[in-house]
Structure formats: structure tokens, C-alpha cells
Amino acid sequence: MMWATWKCVLVVLGLASAQRSIPTACEEDACRCDSFTRLICHCTGDYQELTLRSDGAYRIPTMVTAVIVNGCDRVTFLSETVRNLIQLRTIQIANVNNVVINERALAWSPRDNEMNPGLRIMISNSTISEISSHGVQGRINSIIISDSYINNLKPFAFSSLTGVSNIELTNNVFDNVEIQAFKKFTTSNFLIRGGSAKVLPSRFLSDVEVTDLLRIDGVTVVCLSSLTFLVSLPKRVLIENNNIDILEGDCFRVTSRGPITFRNNTVGTIRKGAFYGFAASPEVFSVTGHQELLIDNNTVTNITPTSLMYNRTTLSLRIDGLNLKSTCDCDLAEGWQSVLSEHGGIINCWYDLEEHFVSIPTYVDSRCGKFKQTFWIFVIVGVIIVLLAAAVVIFFIVKKENEKKKKIQIVMPDGKTYRETEFHIVVERAELLTTDL
């Protein structure tokens, strides 16, 4: 009996000794662990690649509170990298040429989930080769990705998150984004600032609840597909200062608890019903009534009145500035007359003669109507008649002057010269001239 007991003790001690002999990530050539139990990795010329794992040699120690990586050529997070790191609070990646986050690599759900503030994930000035499906899951406090190139964002890359405070995507270039990249979670704020994307696909944000601010600011996008944003309950929606080639119909499916602002955007084409998916939440509408959809100081090349269809049941539309990059004419003005009559506001068209935008009502007052439409025709015809009359008068004056210059000089027998002044027939008597002196 005693021998069995001692045998168990020896086995445990042996396992503990074996665990101590296995090196951790703190002993990686490019890494160290400081007194605050942070894993800090800074790659040098000889050690440019780093693989982070949860078990085996060079695993991340379980008591690590932060993973900080800077200046590596390649960093790979293997599956389940952070699942058992119950003390972990921060992951910070900067200046890395190739970041790969495998499936469930950053899935983190500690046991005391409700009391834990969650992970802060920060990636800056890096190239993210891929974030795999379900790459980021669980208790996440904030996600901040800035000044980075995102090559491939798989479906459900950010999914089933809890406790999220902020998601900020700032000055990033999105190359390939697949559907439902952000799926099924609640966050206080979701912000996309600056940067560019080729196409943001359908359900880019899918079943995402934003409790405070949804903001898209200063982004250059080729196309926002139908149902790009499926978002509920933001108190404020701001879409401003963007450059968008195409807004597809129903690209926003957003149920808001407050006003919606579409301001200072330059858009190539707005399809029919692009704004139709905006709505006020039933709870807010029942208390405060219609929420405002504001169209303010936007410039659009291809647009029709049907592009501004909106949910009349819960929203009111206000147009404070819409510049149509189309040459002013009376047909164009007539097409927008119903919108102006119903909503008022400021809608401008391009006035070629003066090379600036002019409001459609101003153009109509000065150029349209039965008389005004033919006014310039009358002016042009009048000018032509005046010019023709002037030409005729000048012709006869010149002709008369020329005739005066051609009057005949006559030498009379008395040796005097006379200039003809009047046209008369004079009968003279002719005398025979002799040679007698």
C-alpha cells in the first residue's frame, strides 16, 4: 500500500519535472517574459518567424497577461492558442509582414465570464494574410485594427463574441472580404474610418447589435452590396465623408433608435431603394415618433428620385444638400419636382454656362416654362435679324460711297474741267472746229 502511494507521488513529481524541462515561449530566441508576466517578442535579423501555440514546446505560459509582438516577418496563431490563458488581457501585434490567425486561434472564454472584462486585440501597421472562420470568438472587450492590409477575411472570422465594447477598423485596406465576416454579437460601437475596400459583400455585418454608434467615415469603396449592413438598435448612425462607386439597393438594413445621417459623401451610382432598409425601432417609434433620415451635402453622378425611397412608416426625410452631377435642363428639373414639392430642401444640378452647381428651383425660375424655354430662341433670332439689317444698311452705304468716287470728269472746249454733280442730259450745240488761227 505504501509502495503504491509513493509510486503515485513519484509519477506526479516526474510529470512536474518533465513540464519544467519543456521550454516555453518565454525562452524563444525572439521573446522574453517580464516581471508583469507579459510575453514580449521582438524579432531580429536571425529570428523572423514566430509561431504561437497552447501546448508543446515553446507554448505560451498559462499565467501570461499579455502577448506583445513587434517587427516580425511572420506570426502564426495556431488553433486554440489562447483558450486556456485565463490571465490573458491583451494581444498586441505591430509591424508584422504576415499575420495568420487560424480557426479558433483567438477563441477565449474564461470560466468567470461575467466578471472578466475580456481580451483587447490590437493589430497595427501589419499585413493580415488571413483571419480564418471562427478565428476570433468568445469574451472580447475590444478589437482595434489600424493602418493594415487585410488580405483575406473568412466567413465568421469575428463571430459569437460577448462583452464587446468597441470595434474600430481605421485606415485599413480590405482586399478580399467574404460574406458574414462579422457575425452575431453585440457591441457598443462599430466604427470604420478611412482606408479602402473593393467590395463589401452582402452580410458583411450580419445580425450585429450596436447599442450606441454605427459610423462609416472617410472610406473609399467600389461597391456596397445589397444587405451589406444588417445591424440593429444603434442610437446614432453616421455615414459621412466616403467615396463610394456604387450603392446597391437595400445595402443598409439598419433598425435605429435615433437619427440617421448620410453626409458629405461622393457617390457614383445610387440604385433604387438604397436607403429603403433604414427604419426606426418599434419601441422608439411608439414613444418619440418618426426618426430623421438626413441627406446632407452629398454629390452623386447617377441617381433618380426612386433612389431616395425610404421607410415612410417610421422615418422622415430631410434633404439639406444633394448635388446632382448632371447638366441642368428642364426635363431633369421636372423629374425632381415631386421630391422638392414633398420634402423641400436643396437639390442642385450643374449649370454649364457658369460652371457651378445651382439649385433646381432657381434654374426653373430662370430657364423653364413655356415663355422661358423659348426666350433664348427669340433672343437669338432677334440678334440675327439685327445683324442682317445692319449688314444691308452697311452694304447700301458702301455702295453709295463707291458711286460717288466713280463720278466722271469732263474737259470742256474752254479748257476747264468740270466734275459731274447731277445726272442730267444736256443738249449742246456743236461748232465746226477749223485750223484757222
The answer to whether 305 and 273 have CB atoms below 8 angstroms apart is no
pLDDT-flagged residues of the chain (< 70): 1-21, 112-114, 369-379, 403-437
Output the pLDDT for position 400. 73
SS3 405: helix
The answer to whether 240 and 266 have CB atoms below 8 angstroms apart is no
pLDDT tens-digit series, residues 310-357 = 999 999 999 999 999 999 999 999 999 999 999 889 999 999 988 999
Output the pLDDT for position 423. 46
| DSSP H stretches of helix in 192-329 | 282-288
Output the pLDDT for position 15. 39
Q: What is the CATH number of domain 24-178?
A: 3.80.10
Establish how many alpha carbons lie within 13 A of residue 347's alpha carbon, considering only the half-sphere containing its beta carbon.
27
Please tell me the distance from the alpha carbon of residue 251 to that of residue 263, in angstroms, as a whole number. 16
Output the pLDDT for position 110. 82
Output the pLDDT for position 376. 53
Phi-psi region of 31 (alpha: psi -120 to 50; beta: other; left: phi over 0): beta
Output the pLDDT for position 114. 64
| Among the listed residues 21, 139, 120, the one whose alpha carbon sits nearest the alpha carbon of residue 67 | 120
| Domain assignments of the chain as residue spans, ordered by start | 24-178, 199-317, 321-371
The grid cell for 168 is 474600430
The grid cell for 322 is 444633394
> DSSP assignment, residue 308?
G
Please tell me the distance from the alpha carbon of residue 234 to that of residue 344, in angstroms, as a whole number. 28
Q: Would the pTM count as exceeding 0.85? A: no
SS3 349: strand
> C-alpha distances in angstroms, 104 versus 100, 159, 197, 201?
12, 10, 25, 23
> C-alpha distances in angstroms, 326 versus 47, 240, 264, 369?
58, 22, 18, 20
Output the pLDDT for position 21. 67
